[in-house]
Amino acid sequence: MSLKSQPNRYRNDEGYDSAGMDEWLGTYSDMVTLLLAFFVLMMGISKVEPALWESMKSGLRSEISGQEKVKTPLAEIKHDLDSLLSVEQAQNLVKIEMTQEGIVMKFASSAFYQAGSAEVGAQAKGIMDRVVVAMKNIDYYPFQIDIEGHTDNVPIHTERYPSNWELSVSRATNIVKYMLAQGVAPDRLKAAGYADTKPILPNLDSLGKGIDSNQAQNRRIVVRIH
Domain boundaries, the chain: 3-65, 73-225
pLDDT score of 53 more than 90? no
Residue 30's pLDDT is 77
DSSP letter at 99 equals E
Residue 158 CA to residue 200 CA, distance in Å, equals 25
Higher local confidence (pLDDT), 38 or 97: 97
Confidence of residue 143 (pLDDT cuts 50, 70, 90): confident
Confidence of residue 149 (pLDDT cuts 50, 70, 90): very high
Q: How far apart are the first and last CA of the chain?
A: 67
Alpha helices in 46-144 (DSSP H): 50-65, 73-84, 86-90, 122-136
Confidence of residue 1 (pLDDT cuts 50, 70, 90): very low
Residue 56's pLDDT is 53
Q: Would you call 55 exposed, middle or buried from its count of C-beta atoms within 10 A (0-12, 13-18, 19+)?
A: middle
CATH for the stretch 73-225: 3.30.1330.60
Residue 7's pLDDT is 47
Residue 5's pLDDT is 47
Average pLDDT, the chain: 81
Confidence of residue 47 (pLDDT cuts 50, 70, 90): low
Distances (CA, A) of 38 to 17, 35, 41, 59: 32, 5, 5, 20
The three-class DSSP label of residue 102 is strand
pLDDT score of 212 more than 60? yes
Higher local confidence (pLDDT), 60 or 186: 186
**pLDDT tens digits, one per residue of 107-125:** 998 888 888 889 998 988 9
Residue 72 CA to residue 165 CA, distance in Å, equals 37
pLDDT score of 38 more than 80? no
Residue 16's pLDDT is 53
